[in-house]
Amino acid sequence: MSKLSENSVLIIGGGPAGLSVALMLAKRGWSNITVLEKRPSANYYESDKAFSYQIDGRGQKLTDFLGFTEKLAAKSVPSTEFYFTVIDKNGKRKTTQLPIVDAQRKTAYWLPRAEFLQVLYEEIIEKYPNNIQVLFNTECLSIEKKSDYLEVICQSNQQGEFSFYPNFLIGCDGINSIVRSFLQEIEEDKTCFQVLKFPSPSSELLYKILSLKPQFPLSEQAGDLSQSSMAYVIRSVFQDRHKKLSLGLLPFKNSLQPRTANIITYRDHYIWQLKTPKEFEQFLKESFPQLPLDKIVPPEEFARFMASKGGKFPIPQYCPQFWKILEESGLNSPSKTAILLLGDAIHSFPPDLGQGVNSALEDIYLLKDLLNETKDDLSQALPRYQELRLPDVKALIRLVQVSYPWQYNQNLFQKRLWNINFLLRLVLSRLFPFLFSPHSFLLIQNHELSYSEILAKSNRTTLALGILGGLVLLSCLVLSTWT
């Protein structure tokens, strides 16, 4: 290793990207790695972040390298056993297994975010306790560039304010990255680290998460209980767009864990106009009379839900610059600092494709390969990393825009058009695989294809469909002329 990589590593953000890159570096022999995390523990339960991850083949490239995919699988519901039940407004139910369109697809694993973070933290404790320390309840306050070093000022509940002087600073601190803001502040060309944003039909949708009792009853009938490993879609009686609601529940392996229902709507929905827990409770009972809500939702949950700020889906966006080495001359000096962005700090988007966590894990897997190629020389690895990863980041942002943004029932007409497009590409790809590819929503599940390759296949199929449509239209015009 170069002297630059032998010194201290500071990672801002102890989410999936932060803990994963710490594990990757430690496995490569790095030490003196510190992770700063605002939450009090790895598996801290946050109702507004109690969503689930699907770790697919793309993310498993890193979990395989780190050696805990089997452990992950034991705590998850595999995609091969993914069943979902639709509960209609009249109480009728239909259970279906998630169709496996691509038999070669690697099994994906569904588990709660907190469970995945706990798995990562356990790997740190069990395998690398001398290489990595994770400081919970610790927040990065500011980053300051001094004449010959970098100072990261932090604050924790136990120690108050203190500072780090890292040689490698990694920003895994999400969409509002303080590390990225610092880089933009010190860079002469402010556009280098300026986030580029792109429109999407699903961006800006509001969401909140409703916590339900574990194994809650589906009806008043004794023994009619929900299954933790089953996904549910529960439809309301209202048809008006401003009141229509669905509760989406993803599967859990742990039957004792509270279930979480995703509520995702436009900002003009009636639910955001409610002011009190009692109003919210009444609206839920009117919306879902087919459910015994008194036995499903804990009484205190109505107040917690109303007090929650919730969140909104981010606009698809990426940062065009991923790294910087301060004062690049004399990189062997231990006072030089390399800075890198990973995960949501460089690319963020709505959860339409389930690629948020998987793209972050793939970021780290590529970084691992390049550190191996360059023998941990950051002055070579980081620019090479951006050169290889940026085209895929751009492609991913475009895929998020077009692949499945209408799945939240914002516009039923647009969703029907999407369904037609999806089926047309699927049928044509099977009849003429040399001309057409399946829809990008399916291609994204093939971890052996890069995001750039998927976008290229999707664009070629779009062009072929355009030519085919033009030929059909021309044929119709010729036939009408003859007749």
Nearest-angstrom CA–CA distance, 461 and 479? 27
pLDDT score recorded for residue 204: 87
Are the beta carbons of 433 and 418 closer than 8 angstroms? no
State the sign of the Cα–Cα–Cα–Cα dihedral 449, 452, 458, 464. Answer: negative
DSSP 351: G
Decide yes or no: CATH 3.40.50.720 for domain 3-77+101-199+315-402.
no
Q: What is the DSSP letter of 221?
A: S
Chain CA centroid to CA 73, Å: 18
Predicted pLDDT of residue 7: 55
Determine what percent of the chain falls in helix, strand and coil, rounding each to the nearest 5: 40, 20, 40
Give, rounded to a whole angstrom, the gap between the first and last alpha carbons of the chain: 78
Q: How far is CA 96 from the centre of its chain?
A: 25
pLDDT, residue 13, reads 97
129: which 2 tokens?
């306790």
Distance, CA of 168 to CA of 173 (rounded, Å): 15
For residue 131, count other CB atoms closer than 10 A to its CB: 19
Amino acid 424: pLDDT: 95
pLDDT for the residue numbered 330? 45
Q: What Cα–Cα distance (Å) separates residue 164 from each residue in 12, 110, 244, 255?
A: 11, 36, 51, 42
Helices 451-482 and 412-431 cross at an angle (nearest 10°) of 90
To 5 degrees, how large is the angle CA 211–CA 215–CA 291?
A: 70
Q: What pTM value is reported for the model?
A: 0.93
Hey, which residues does 259 pair with through a beta bridge?
Answer: 212
What is the full per-residue pLDDT of the chain (483 aa) written as tens digits? 333 334 599 999 999 999 999 999 999 999 999 999 999 999 887 777 778 999 999 999 999 999 999 999 999 999 999 999 999 999 999 999 987 667 678 999 999 999 999 999 999 999 999 999 999 999 999 999 988 889 999 999 888 999 999 999 999 999 999 999 999 999 988 899 999 999 999 998 999 999 999 999 999 999 999 999 999 999 999 989 899 999 999 998 999 988 999 999 998 999 999 999 999 999 999 999 999 999 999 999 999 999 998 899 999 999 999 999 997 444 444 567 999 999 999 999 999 999 999 999 999 999 999 999 999 999 999 999 999 999 999 999 999 999 999 988 878 899 999 999 999 999 999 999 999 999 999 999 999 999 999 999 999 999 999 999 898 888 888 888 886
Distance CA 344, CA 364 (A): 12
Sign of the alpha-carbon dihedral angle for 72, 225, 248, 258: negative
Spatial CB neighbours of 346, under 8 Å, sequence gap ≥ 6: 180, 318, 319, 322, 363, 393
Burial 386-398 (b: 16+ CB within 10 A, else e): beebbebbbbbbb
DSSP category for residue 142: E
26 to 83, 120, 393: CA distances (angstroms)? 38, 13, 26
The alpha carbon torsion through 270, 354, 114, 261 (nearest 10 deg) reads 30
The structural domains of the chain, with segments of one domain joined by +, span: 3-77+101-199+315-402, 206-312, 412-482
pLDDT of residue 4: 36
Q: How far apart are CA 296 and CA 217, in angstroms?
A: 7
The reported pLDDT for the residue numbered 474 is 87
Distance, in Å, from the CA atom of 231 to the CA atom of 234, rounded to the nearest integer, reads 10
Beta-carbon neighbour count of residue 465 at 10 Å?
16
What is the residue whose two structure tokens read 């991850």? 53
- At 272, which amino acid appears? W
Tokens 């700020």, located at residue:
309
